[in-house]
Chains A and B, each alone.
Chain A
Amino acid sequence: MISAKSRSCFSDLMKVSSGRRLGSAMVLMAGSCLVAGCITLNAPDKPIVIELNIKIEQDVVYKLAPDVQQTVAQNKDIF
């Protein structure tokens, strides 16, 4: 079981870490694998928050687009 946990930890590690952080992340992951197990190391819910932000801004952009188009047409010299 320990070896199975270690392997899933390592695959998570490969996805998450990159570059110089690999070394320190490896040590951290190895420690957490031994002490707490890998189940607690799920992907954070941050990406969901970012997606929501994009959606809100996209709504704003769509709403503004007709007015921006008119503004640009009236100021051709600077666009």
Chain B
Amino acid sequence: MAQAFDSVASARLPVVRQMMAGAVAAGLLALGAAPAMAQDRDPAYAAARAAGQVGELPTGYLGTVGSVPAPVARLVEDLNIKRKSVYAQHAKEQGTTIEAYAFTSGCLQIAKTAPGEKYMGTDGQWHVRGKDKPMRDARCPE
């Protein structure tokens, strides 16, 4: 499943790890199980993002914009718990705090928002991503 990584990540991955990932994915496919990683977004989540009901926060988590239907709120809660779990695991590996790891992710998530999606700016307001660079914290990397 090497094609599942984006080009930036695959460029950083050592060849050996890519081969291992491919072997694991092939093994899982042979057993009839779906690969655990690099799945695409849940359609309900993708729809909520596109509808502007869900936006990216500078903290690295998702937020609901205004009042949203209960299923959307539950979806956001669930995704944030999963995000925190992933952040916690990697923060420990990197010897940093969950907050610092999550904040770095927030920088990247806001930078990656597609035009029309929402993010919270440094002013605490929701913004719709346009063609220009988003309003991010001064500490965010380019």
Contacts and interface: CB of A to CB of B under 8 A. Distances in A.
Interface string A68-79: 111111111111
B54 to A, nearest CB: 12
A73 B104 contact: no
A77 B42 contact: yes
B141 A65 contact: yes
Contacts of A78: 79, 82-83, 86
B31 interface: no
Q: How many of chain B's residues touch chain A, expressed as a range? A: 20 to 34
B141 to A, nearest CB: 5
Contact of B13 (A70, A77, A79): A70
B94 A54 contact: no
Contacts of A76: 4, 38-41
Interface string B83-118: 100100010011010001101110111000000000
B9 A73 contact: yes
Nearest to B83: A78
A74 B140 CA distance: 21
B12 A70 contact: yes
B45 to A, nearest CB: 8
14 contacts: A54-B139, A58-B138, A61-B141, A64-B94, A65-B141, A71-B86, A71-B105, A73-B5, A73-B8, A74-B37, A75-B86, A76-B38, A77-B41, A78-B82
Interface of B: 4-6, 8-9, 12-13, 37-42, 79, 82-83, 86, 90, 93-94, 96, 100-101, 103-105, 107-109, 138-141
Interface of A: 54, 57-58, 60-62, 64-79
